[in-house]
Amino acid sequence: QVQLVESGGGLVQPGGSLRLSCAVSTSLFSIDVMGWYRQTPGTERRLVATITSGGRTYYGNSMKGRVVISRDNAKNTVYLQMNSLKPEDTAVYYCYAPEGRWGQGTQVTVSS
């Protein structure tokens, strides 16, 4: 069973940057698509970005232009580089793999 562990969250000032990491327990070469989602209290989990095994990316509207998703199949790790962060980006960020597999989430707080 695939296990996902996110890291890299924390407190950052508006306009700052963070890079989130998702460590995958199985070979990333065998996983067609990976994604990042986020969720704030009282809201549904929403798509941030996805990336296929071939490197094709898709971005949701919420952070388009401010984030870059990437994957290193050899290291079994998926990344989310976040720039120009805003207070409304404050959320728990989750790594996703097919068949409804989620990590535990990592908290990102954007505040001055």
Q: Which one-letter DSSP state was computed for residue 98? A: T
Render each residue's pLDDT in the chain as its tens digit; 112 residues.
899 999 999 999 999 999 999 999 989 888 999 999 999 988 999 999 999 999 999 999 999 899 999 999 999 999 999 999 999 999 999 999 999 999 999 999 999 9
Look at residue 71 in the predicted model and tell me its pLDDT.
95
CA angle at residue 78 from 6 to 36, to 5 degrees?
65
- The CB density around residue 1, as the number of other CB atoms within 10 Å, is 6
CB 24 within 8 A of CB 72: no
Contact assessment for residue 15 and residue 60, using Cβ atoms and an 8 Å cutoff: no
